[in-house]
Amino acid sequence: MPIADFQMIEAWKEVLRLSRLEAGQTVTILTSVNTHPQNLSTAKIAAQSMGAVVCQIDLPPVNGEKALSRDALAYLGETPLTGNKAAIAALEASDLVLDLMTLLFSPEQIEILKTGTKILLAVEPPEVLARILPTEGDKARVLKAKARIEAARTMRATSAAGTDVTFKIGDFPAIAEYGFVDEPGRWDHWPSGFTFTFPNEGESNGTIVIDRGDILIPQKSYVQDPIILTIENGFATKIEGGVDAALLREYMATFNDPEAYAMSHIGWGLQPRAKWSTLGLYDREATIAMDARAYEGNFLFSLGPNNEAGGSRTTACHMDIPLRNCTVELDGTPVVIDGRVVEDAA
């Protein structure tokens, strides 16, 4: 159901308040052909109403001829900022960048953040942004879970469907996404609400069963037949099952890159306002599936790059796969049991 402009302006103002926007600061809005017009128009009004100096940079799309999907995260690599010194300079000179385009897993984004510029990604439809408006409570809960990851050296995920995989952790930082950017150099995503880290290189082993009803992204599809991944020394070495497994194998093979099969980020969802079932109500091109990534109690794992956390892997293939009904343990202590977050561990 549509959201009124007034409601979206108020939502933007709340997120900008949480992001500590001050009068006189520069807000640059990054846009491209797929930017939602209501997100853009209401963001401008909200930022200006708070006394910000507002600038918009509109950039042409890239990688359309390479990607098999129109999803912005279906092919990573060159971005509209690659080689664009003027645009990069403008973003580095900004206090806050509102990314309505999707500039993720890119070296340009990492360099911009190093200057102290804050970047907030917001590309979901307006009604999703309004429903999952972040709160200080979200931040507190996610940071508490992040601290648990930081103190641990192993993460294990199991399920009745057959998942039993162990990750050695600690070489890469834990990351918290709670929906706003309240510190210099911070990146976040509205909507979100989860915590994760990246496993130590080569130290993930076991079996992951992507069961019926689990979600593949960027396919944005619910799995109909179980897919069995064999994880050996940090890589998915086998993808077995029926038609869904065959589709996944073929999709990943198109990248012709062994690093596409490496374990990427691992963690769990903490956002009660995000829903597992929402993806079935949207056209695939209308959303990037943040409900699926953030819904409370999921075990979210990924295959592909790890440069977001300071690693060297920059493969163009990135698979996000949230699983239901898993138990997640840190050093043997459960933080999620059968898809339910353990509150004293959250």
Checking if the pLDDT of 76 tops 70, the result is no
**Residue 153's pLDDT band (boundaries 50, 70, 90)?**
very high
Checking if the pLDDT of 346 tops 60, the result is no
Cα atoms found within 13 Å of the Cα of residue 44, Cβ hemisphere only:
11
Query: Average pLDDT in the 278-286 region?
Result: 91
- Looking at the chain, the whole-number percentage of residues with pLDDT higher than 70 is 96
Q: Is 176 helix (H, G, I), strand (E, B) or coil?
A: strand
The burial of 318, by beta-carbon neighbours within 10 Å (0-12 exposed, 13-18 middle, 19 or more buried), is given as buried
Query: Average pLDDT in the 252-268 region?
Result: 97
Checking if the pLDDT of 90 tops 70, the result is yes
Checking if the pLDDT of 64 tops 70, the result is no
> Residue 128: which of 265, 27, 30, 36 has the closest Cα?
36
Of 49-58, 65-74, 88-97, 286-295, the poorest mean pLDDT is in: 65-74
Query: Average pLDDT in the 36-51 region?
Result: 98
Q: What is the pLDDT of residue 147?
A: 98
Checking if the pLDDT of 71 tops 90, the result is no
Q: What is the pLDDT of residue 81?
A: 87
What pairing do the DSSP bridges indicate for beta strands 26-31 and 53-58? parallel
Q: Report CA-CA distances (Å) from 113 to 126, 202, 261, 331.
A: 26, 28, 28, 32
> Residue 193: which of 292, 109, 285, 90 has the closest Cα?
292
Secondary structure in 3-state letters for 157-174: EEECCCCEEEEECCCCCC
Sequence-separated (6 or more) residues with CB below 8 Å from residue 162: 207, 209, 226, 228
Checking if the pLDDT of 73 tops 80, the result is no
**Residue 58's pLDDT band (boundaries 50, 70, 90)?**
very high
Q: Is 46 helix (H, G, I), strand (E, B) or coil?
A: helix
Q: What is the pLDDT of residue 66?
A: 65
**Residue 123's pLDDT band (boundaries 50, 70, 90)?**
very high
> Residue 181: which of 119, 94, 233 has the closest Cα?
119
Of 109-123, 160-174, 227-241, 309-323, the poorest mean pLDDT is in: 309-323
Structure tokens at 231: 């994880």
Spatial distance between the Cα atoms of 235 and 249, rounded to a whole number of angstroms: 14
Domains, the chain, in order of start with CATH, read 5-131 (3.40.50.2300), 136-345 (no CATH)
Q: What is the pLDDT of residue 1?
A: 78
Sequence-separated (6 or more) residues with CB below 8 Å from residue 331: 151, 152, 153, 154
The DSSP element (H or E) to which 294 belongs, if any, is helix 290-294
Location of structure tokens 């689990």: 214
Checking if the pLDDT of 273 tops 80, the result is yes
Strands (E), the chain: 26-31, 53-58, 96-99, 118-121, 154-159, 164-168, 175-177, 187-189, 194-197, 204-210, 215-216, 221-222, 227-232, 235-241, 263-269, 299-303, 319-323, 326-330, 333-337, 340-341
Q: What is the pLDDT of residue 63?
A: 67
Checking if the pLDDT of 80 tops 90, the result is no
> Residue 324: which of 205, 174, 230, 209 has the closest Cα?
209
Hey, what amino acid is at 97? V
Of 79-83, 103-107, 138-142, 224-228, the poorest mean pLDDT is in: 103-107
The burial of 222, by beta-carbon neighbours within 10 Å (0-12 exposed, 13-18 middle, 19 or more buried), is given as middle
Query: Average pLDDT in the 27-43 region?
Result: 96
Average confidence score pLDDT of the chain: 94
> Are the CB atoms for 30 and 98 separated by under 8 Å?
yes
Q: Phi, psi (5° rounding) for residue 88?
A: -60, -45
Of 55-64, 195-204, 255-264, the poorest mean pLDDT is in: 55-64
For the chain, the 3-state helix, strand and coil shares in percent, each to the nearest 5, are 30, 30, 45
**Residue 338's pLDDT band (boundaries 50, 70, 90)?**
very high
Report the first-to-last Cα separation within the chain, whole angstroms.
32
* Packed helices 85-92 and 107-114: angle between N→C axes, nearest 10 degrees: 40
**Residue 78's pLDDT band (boundaries 50, 70, 90)?**
confident
Spatial distance between the Cα atoms of 271 and 188, rounded to a whole number of angstroms: 14
- Looking at the chain, the whole-number percentage of residues with pLDDT higher than 90 is 84
Q: What is the pLDDT of residue 203?
A: 97
